């Protein structure tokens, strides 16, 4: 058990403060051999039993269902507004470009996390271009952060009552 906890801790990204006082996520310890394929597709046999159970209804996270239906495209508008909300809380006008640059720096490692590794290979049934994959990472990451932040405020308010 203790060994498993040590292995898990070794795979956990650490947050560090750089010389400018900004926080950065250190992913350098995640080598490509460790990172390959731990976000899996649902096996076809399971999907055949109840495909609707594995199909996102209003939101999808990641490239596999990105914008496939009208409802998911509507959810994209909310993701875009959450991204703008997150960016607007920072006074630095370069926040969005800095986020985009950070995504470009980790997109290769992020791509390797998906089963098969080539989520933006045109031969893949996902067919997501490199730039689109980076956009998905940015939108989905900021959406999740904002979703947690907004719900944390609600929970915090409720717990004080």
Q: What is the domain partition of the chain in residue ranges?
A: 58-160
**DSSP secondary structure string for all residues of 38-69:** -BPPPPHHHHHH-GGGGS-SS---SSTTTT-S
Of the candidates 48, 11, 3, 6, the one whose C-alpha atom is nearest the C-alpha of residue 29 is 11
Tokens representing residue 32 in the block? 């490509």
The Cα–Cα gap between 153 and 121 comes to 40
- The listed range with the strongest mean pLDDT (36-45, 127-136, 142-151) is 142-151
State the pLDDT at residue 75.
Answer: 87
Question: Is 1 a residue whose pLDDT tops 50?
Answer: no
The answer to whether residue 3 scores a pLDDT higher than 50 is: no
In this prediction, residue 23 carries a pLDDT of 63
Enumerate the β-bridge partners of residue 23. 17
Q: Which of 67, 48, 49, 46 minimizes the C-alpha distance to 58?
A: 67
The pLDDT score that the predictor gives to residue 117 is: 54
Phi first, then psi, for residue 23 (nearest 5°) are: -90, 140
The three-state secondary structure class of 14 is: strand
Q: What is the pLDDT of residues 29-79, one digit of tens each?
A: 554 444 456 777 777 888 888 888 888 888 888 888 877 777 778 888 999
The span from the CA of 108 to the CA of 87, in Å, is: 24
Counting DSSP H helices and E strands in the chain, the numbers are 6, 2
pLDDT at 151: 87
């Amino acid at each position: 058990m203790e060994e498993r906890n040590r292995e898990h801790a070794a795979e956990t990204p650490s947050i560090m403060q750089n010389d400018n006082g900004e926080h950065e996520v250190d992913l350098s310890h995640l080598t490509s051999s460790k990172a390959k394929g731990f976000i899996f597709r649902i096996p076809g046999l399971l999907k055949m039993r109840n495909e609707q159970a594995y199909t996102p209804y209003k939101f999808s996270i990641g490239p596999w269902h990105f914008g496939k239906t009208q409802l998911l495209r509507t959810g994209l508008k909310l993701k875009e507004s959450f991204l703008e909300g997150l960016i607007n809380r920072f006074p630095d006008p370069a926040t969005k470009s800095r986020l985009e640059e950070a995504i470009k720096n980790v997109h290769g490692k992020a791509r390797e996390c998906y089963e098969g590794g080539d989520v933006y290979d045109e031969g893949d049934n996902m067919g997501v271009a490199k730039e689109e994959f980076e956009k998905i990472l940015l939108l989905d990451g900021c959406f999740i952060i904002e979703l947690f932040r907004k719900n944390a405020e609600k929970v915090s308010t409720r717990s004080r009552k």
